[in-house]
Chains A and B, each alone.
Chain A
């Protein structure tokens, strides 16, 4: 059925082409001569609202927004821009997979773009949140399909993404099974009831009992 329609359309186009050939076209404007509509523009909520919703002060929000707006004048970051930005920090490796997972973690409403509110909410949790909130966020990052369980496959994807960022020239040289071994170690530690998945409670419990993790949670707090 569609074949016939296609044939008709082709014949029609050919006839149009012949007609134009004969009569000449004085206007060379073709159909694709529209300026592409400006991209999505987004304006954030007011300063007062953001101040109330996050744990940043007014000045800090101003600083954050100026930087954000400088990079993304349209007010939203899409995934490609996010990947570009992140790739600048890891020139030796390929940061795009990990940036993809990070993007999904920041994009809380899953609309394909990170607005300033999403950005600032995420930062608020990461920089000023309680340990519980930070661990929650990390769990959310690992749980790719957001079903509340971290499976070995999800962890393997995350692990591979992290190892990708190291690039090729490492010491000792990266092997195929390095990420997998790392995943095994992780699961041995975290998966208490050995059911093959890590739930949020297991994760938080285990991290809270681990002194090193607890200590390192404060590592990036004084960022602004």
Chain B
């Protein structure tokens, strides 16, 4: 029942008094009204903006968050109000929905933000009123298309190959993206060149050359230089055949490949040659063979692999196929009408060229497209009148589909441009994301070194509670598996040195890195430098971890800090190994999957902290070093 109807119910019930004198049977007992409470005002605080509304207003829609008992989870006893940490601007619209029963979509908001708010408050988007539904659906579709494009560009063709791919997969990639390897690029250009050569040869073949000595008639070059042209043709066809067979071999799904447009074009381009070879030199058959040679011109379509613009054009035409089809149909109707009319109008005149209706088709087409060859002209007055109507209407009909095709082409072209730009920006984005990720890993390694160097209580105090707990979690995982996290540099060094031996070769490999760089003191100048850089970075910069990496590459000149050599770390680990083993095994399993409010790169916002302070149960036993509090927020 709509909200508005509920308010009229008392009136309807009161008006039922009119039935009482006429009733045949006794009236049923009225329902007991349980809610003796009068309506109360609720206070809703959305990020500081206080809204007030009647409880009944919210109760109208019991399947949403505000209308059900779910809002009790957000009740703040101290301030006696419901507190939501969400966008107050959006909340206006949500509350208006309760008041008026119609949900409106604010046009200046991002569609995704709006969707998320609706999801949070438990409101189904289908309730959006008719006034705003069109806009909502359009924007949502546009957003989805854009997201789909982006994911396509993401998992795109520029992704690096998985390391263990078969030669077949590599070959296919080389064919699809020629710019991945030089061989592929060379092959790409070679085929392009041969396509051009083949097409030009086809064209030049028919040009009349100077006749050989002793003859008067002009001969087409193809006849005169039969052998060179034949050789060129053979070479081109061989290359095309080879390319086609290679593609067929490399294709992940051969059936799909054989049905694709490009492969059909390839086949059509090379078949005439083979058919020509096979067919005998027979007079009546060679007529058909000559027709087949026409198909050689299809080789020009092979260029579409090399040109994105051609592909866009083809795709545009395909996407406007229905408009073009409709246009063709209406044109056909008009042609038939006018041809019939012209035929009957010119039927009487002597020597008229309008011999039949199909013959008049030619006149109608030539007139409607404003070509006007003049080979067929109406002579009667009626014919001239209808002829002029024909040409005028032709102009209109032909001009109609042009804007459709143009707008389609423009849209597809811009989409393509955007995809290219996205791909270029993607690399930068990925690099930044990778840097941020490495930042978290580096933070943990930093924490480990602090712990090893300093006191076991471990943490430099300027690390947030979240970081401490996250580091403790990773530490537990290390203890479970009895392996330690390292960063990539150390890992590759270790990989190199592991086979040879441990301490000695390590120092030699490290000292070999020194080269012309800073102070070479002892065995670990590079690592010490890096550690110093990280320490400096971490003490000053706590939030933007990406800069840790940047400072890393600055090669700070510092004195060599007494190294925590791998050997000493190793010894520590060995000691712990004895009582390590299984106990922390289960402890790590019990680690809680905590959905963080923010990404782990940022520290927790301070607002939950006071709450946590109230609830901390310091039941820390003696052998637990730091009071571990992992917030689950």
Could you list which residues of chain A lie within 8 angstroms of chain B, going by C-beta atoms?
Answer: 20-25, 33, 35, 38-39, 41, 43-44, 46-47, 59-75, 77, 82, 85-86, 88-92, 99, 102, 106, 123, 126-127, 134-135, 137-138, 141, 162-163, 165-174, 178, 182, 185-186, 189, 207, 210, 212-213, 215-224
Contacts and interface: CB of A to CB of B under 8 A. Distances in A.
Interface stretch (B13-21, B246-254, B412-420, B618-626): B618-626
B152 interface: no
Contacts of A224: 612, 615, 631-632
Contacts of B321: 21
B589 A170 contact: no
Contact of A47 (B72, B327, B483): B72
Given A43-B122, A186-B582, A20 B322 contact: yes
A169 B631 contact: no
A23 B595 CA distance: 55
Given A35-B140, A173-B498, A70 B593 contact: no
B629 interface: yes
Given A22-B325, A90-B477, A210 B441 contact: no
Given A23-B329, A43-B68, A220-B592, A91 B437 contact: yes
B376 interface: no
Contact of B600 (A62, A89, A102, A166): A89
A67 B632 contact: yes
A62 B124 CA distance: 24
Given A47-B69, A70-B597, A166-B485, 18 more contacts: A24-B325, A24-B327, A35-B140, A39-B119, A43-B68, A44-B73, A71-B595, A71-B596, A73-B116, A75-B122, A89-B473, A92-B441, A102-B593, A126-B590, A127-B592, A216-B584, A218-B619, A220-B630
Nearest to A25: B322
Contact of B587 (A68, A86, A220): A220
Counting from the closest, the 7 A-B pairs by CB-CB distance are A24-B326, A212-B583, A21-B325, A169-B491, A71-B595, A67-B633, A73-B119
A91 B612 CA distance: 26
Contacts of B600: 88-89, 91
B498 A24 contact: no
A167 B441 CA distance: 11
Given A24-B325, A221-B619, A88 B599 contact: yes
Given A162-B480, A163-B481, A207-B586, A85 B441 contact: no
Contact of A210 (B322, B488, B582, B631): B582
A137 B592 CA distance: 13
A25 B325 CA distance: 10
Nearest to A172: B483
Nearest to B611: A63
Contacts of B481: 162-163, 166, 170, 178, 182
A178 B608 CA distance: 41
Contacts of B593: 82, 85-86, 99, 102, 106
Contacts of A221: 617, 619
Interface string B394-437: 00000000000000000000000000000000000000000001
Contacts of B370: none
Given A91-B440, A99-B593, A22 B586 contact: no
B286 interface: no
A110 B602 CA distance: 34
B74 interface: yes
27 contacts: A20-B322, A21-B326, A24-B322, A24-B325, A24-B327, A38-B124, A38-B126, A47-B72, A62-B73, A63-B608, A63-B632, A66-B73, A72-B595, A74-B119, A141-B589, A162-B477, A165-B477, A170-B481, A170-B483, A171-B566, A173-B491, A186-B585, A213-B583, A220-B630, A221-B617, A222-B627, A223-B630
Contacts of B608: 63
Contacts of B1: none
Contacts of A43: 63, 65, 68-70, 122
B627 A66 contact: no
B352 interface: no
B34 interface: no
Nearest to B444: A92
Given A91-B440, A166-B481, A41 B329 contact: no
Contacts of B478: 166
Interface string B576-614: 000101111111111111111101100000001001101
B486 interface: yes
A25 B592 CA distance: 56
Contacts of B484: 170-171
A178 B629 CA distance: 31
Interface in B90-131: 116, 119-120, 122, 124-126
A22 B615 CA distance: 73
Contacts of B592: 123, 126-127, 220, 223
Contacts of B617: 221-222
